[in-house]
Amino acid sequence: MKIALAQLNYHIGNFEANTNKIIDHIKLAKNRGADLVVFAELAVCGYPARDFLEFDEFIELCQSSALEIAEHCIDIACIMGLPIKNAKVAGKDLYNAAYFIEDGEIKATVKKALLPTYDVFDEYRYFEPGIQFDCIDFKGKKIALTICEDLWNINDNPLYVSNPMDQLTLQQPDLMINIAASPFSYSHDDERMVVLSDNAKKYNLPLLYVNQVGAQTEIVFDGGSLTFDRAGNLLNEMKYFEEDMRIYEVMDGDILGHTPIDHKPLSDIEQIYGALILGIKDYFEKSGFTKAVLGLSGGIDSAIVCALACRALGAENVMAVLMPSKYSSDHSIQDALDLVKNFGCMHEIIPIKEAADTFDRVLEQAFKDLPPNLAEENIQARCRGLILMAMSNKFGYILLNTSNKSECAVGYGTLYGDMCGAIGVIGDVYKTQVFELARFINKDGVMIPENSIIKPPSAELRPDQKDSDSLPEYDVLDKILFQYIELKQSSKAIIAQGFDEALIKRVVKMVNNAEFKRYQTPPILRVSSKAFGMGRRMPIVGKYLS
């Protein structure tokens, strides 16, 4: 039996595009001699469709698309994911399901049993778990088909009390197929590899796994579809961050033509780079946008975002706006201009001194001769935000936010100023990782000016200002933030690791007090295991750990 794994980039709710893409790959797989072609979880509608799933018409369009696709499954079968209605009144209205289609007809339906409701997942909000498990009969073989999370209830600390494969294995299947929508994080590929390998070993079956690829607003899917032999050895690894389709021949419990290989993952920074490029590209293409604008200060954060945007969208589609204040150094302006020259993007220079001075005069009476403080600094940042949004409105540019995760965490940013934008490009990238990204981008030649990398970070909103005036050094701060945010450690637990008690309490308090700001920031491209946004839900007025 020849099985094609089609790793594709879907567009949520774009039924015409998704359907045509699936049909095209059915034809391609058929022409290449495949007997069965396998598509990802919820491929028909895209994942995660979220509250689109509450619209009856949306579900009906999924079904009509499936029927259209079925017409092309002649002399080739297919497996694809989609939401279907629950015929029973009791329980949720939908199932997260997969159709097995053969000879133009839907021959079998598999319903996802284990519904993740953690981090970015919220499947039990919409779906009823499947409770009946049957193998699919095809060409004299039995296929144990599962959907994503159905294979993850293995090893230590299982999240669920049941396991679909424990039931399916009683029917003596010949192979396992798992269709997934498994989001990217730079630590997830190793975990995924272990879970899938352990399933193949536990059930003594070859495993073919297909994942989605592409970005859906803040969530990035990295692809990397996999095949394993019955001993859990990795046999083949499909492309990451790209569409791909490969055909595997399965005979007598073996995947032919492949010998075990070692998983050689890209470095964390290479993975982050690939995810951010894909995230920007898909956000623009799927939203129908073409041109981006950002504020370019000469600092490393905006330099990284500009570089990524140029590579994702083309430099000709990126507008960098330099907005020097009266505190900006000549070197910062030159650093920004050098970056513009290196990448070849558009640029404008719009000083903000006159605008900021005007606001100072307008507010002079209301401020009652009080000394300058954070209010005047934030006015400058908001002048920049106003200019960038004006450019966006006038020319149809989409504003890229340039705040990093360290700043987002501790609230080191100005609402309606440097925190505005349509998409947060590096809001899940710690400052220390930003420096690593700069070195990675410069690996084949200097594109980001060296001075942008080595100079002390500064908002340049007051004389001789440096980030370290307000924050711990980033190499210390980021270690604390990682323990608190990604590892969910309490302040007491972090202090026990040897960190200064006063510093830990200060940092944790800053993180918690900035929650109201993060509620008002743009969606952030997710590259870590715990990103700000839909995957981290904290009360704004909570007292715990503050």
Separation CA 485–CA 488 (nearest Å): 5
Looking at the DSSP bridge assignments, the partners of residue 107 are none
What number is the average pLDDT over the span 437-449?
A: 96
Q: Is residue 348 part of a domain?
A: yes
Tokens 């020097």 belong to which residue? 324
244 shares a domain with 318:
no
Helix pair angle (56-70, 15-31), 10° resolution: 20
Looking at the DSSP bridge assignments, the partners of residue 145 are 177
| Predicted pLDDT of residue 116 | 96
Q: Is the pLDDT of residue 90 over 90?
A: yes
Tell me the catalytic residues.
41, 112, 148
Q: Which amino acid is at 70?
A: A
C-beta separation of 296 from 340 below 8 A: yes
84 shares a domain with 15:
yes
Q: Which amino acid is at 396?
A: G
**Tokens representing residue 346 in the block:** 């558009």
187 shares a domain with 127:
yes
Q: Which residues contact 379 (CB under 8 A, 6 or more apart)?
A: 356, 359, 360, 363
| Predicted pLDDT of residue 459 | 64
| Predicted pLDDT of residue 467 | 72
453 shares a domain with 418:
yes
Separation CA 350–CA 387 (nearest Å): 8
Q: Is residue 39 part of a domain?
A: yes
| Predicted pLDDT of residue 458 | 74
What number is the average pLDDT over the span 34-42?
A: 98
Boundary-marking domain end, from 256, 291, 325: 256
Q: Is the pLDDT of residue 317 over 70?
A: yes
pLDDT tens-place string over residues 358-371: 999 999 999 998 99
Pick the range with the lowest mean pLDDT from 246-260, 302-316, 335-349, 443-457. 443-457
Which of the pair, 265 or 527, is modelled with greater confidence? 527
Separation CA 387–CA 82 (nearest Å): 44
Q: Is residue 496 part of a domain?
A: no
Q: Is residue 511 part of a domain?
A: no
| Predicted pLDDT of residue 369 | 86
pLDDT tens-place string over residues 413-436: 999 999 999 999 999 999 999 999
Q: Give the CATH number for residue 339.
A: 3.40.50.620
At 462, the pLDDT band (50, 70, 90 cuts) reads: low
State what percent of residues in the chain have pLDDT above 70: 99
Burial 185-221 (b: 16+ CB within 10 A, else e): bbebbeebbebbbebbbbbebbbbbbbbbbbbbbbbb
Pick the range with the lowest mean pLDDT from 58-62, 66-70, 360-364, 462-466. 462-466
φ/ψ of residue 237, rounded to 5: -135, 120
At 155, the pLDDT band (50, 70, 90 cuts) reads: confident
| 449 upstream amide cis, omega within 30 of 0 | no
At 324, the pLDDT band (50, 70, 90 cuts) reads: very high
416 shares a domain with 289:
yes
Contacts 24+ apart (CB under 8 A), 458-465: 458/299, 459/377, 459/381, 459/418, 460/297, 460/325, 460/327, 460/328, 460/329, 460/332, 461/325, 461/327, 461/377, 461/380, 461/381, 462/327, 462/372, 462/377, 463/327, 465/327
What number is the average pLDDT over the span 269-279?
A: 98
DSSP type of residue 71? T
338 shares a domain with 288:
yes
461 shares a domain with 347:
yes
331 shares a domain with 183:
no
Q: Is residue 485 part of a domain?
A: no
How far from chain centre, in Å, is Cα 131? Answer: 30
| Predicted pLDDT of residue 263 | 93
Alpha-carbon torsion, ordered 495, 499, 505, 509, to 10 deg: -110
At 546, the pLDDT band (50, 70, 90 cuts) reads: low
Q: Is residue 482 part of a domain?
A: no
| Predicted pLDDT of residue 156 | 76
Boundary-marking domain end, from 411, 435, 467: 467
Q: Is residue 375 part of a domain?
A: yes
CB atoms within 10 A of CB 503: 15
Chain mean pLDDT for the chain: 95
| Predicted pLDDT of residue 199 | 97
Which SS3 state, helix, strand or coil, does residue 420 take? coil
**Tokens representing residue 341 in the block:** 């020259």
228 shares a domain with 320:
no
What number is the average pLDDT over the span 167-178?
A: 97
At 543, the pLDDT band (50, 70, 90 cuts) reads: confident
Q: Is residue 492 part of a domain?
A: no
Separation CA 399–CA 387 (nearest Å): 11
**Tokens representing residue 389 in the block:** 């949004």
What number is the average pLDDT over the span 193-221?
A: 97
| Predicted pLDDT of residue 9 | 98
At 330, the pLDDT band (50, 70, 90 cuts) reads: confident
| Predicted pLDDT of residue 322 | 97
Contacts 24+ apart (CB under 8 A), 432-436: 432/406, 432/474, 432/475, 432/478, 433/268, 433/269, 433/272, 433/405, 433/478, 434/300, 434/301, 434/304, 434/404, 435/300, 436/269
C-beta separation of 144 from 150 below 8 A: no
**Tokens representing residue 350 in the block:** 């719009």
280 shares a domain with 211:
no
C-beta separation of 461 from 418 below 8 A: no
104 shares a domain with 29:
yes
How far from chain centre, in Å, is Cα 435? Answer: 20
**Tokens representing residue 527 in the block:** 């590259």
pTM (2 d.p.): 0.95
| Predicted pLDDT of residue 470 | 77
Q: Which residues contact 355 (CB under 8 A, 6 or more apart)?
A: 383, 386, 387
Element (H or E) spanning 517, and its range?
helix 515-518
169 shares a domain with 64:
yes
Closest to 520 (Cα-Cα) out of 378, 415, 392, 375: 415
Pick the range with the lowest mean pLDDT from 223-227, 469-473, 504-508. 469-473
Q: Is the pLDDT of residue 495 over 60?
A: yes
Separation CA 160–CA 157 (nearest Å): 9
What number is the average pLDDT over the span 54-63?
A: 98
Boundary-marking domain end, from 256, 286, 319: 256
State what percent of residues in the chain have pLDDT above 90: 91
Separation CA 459–CA 418 (nearest Å): 10
C-beta separation of 81 from 39 below 8 A: yes
| Predicted pLDDT of residue 296 | 97
Print the domain residue range for 452: 271-467
Q: Give the CATH number for residue 225.
A: 3.60.110.10
- Give the count of domains, the chain: 2
Tokens 């692809």 belong to which residue? 223
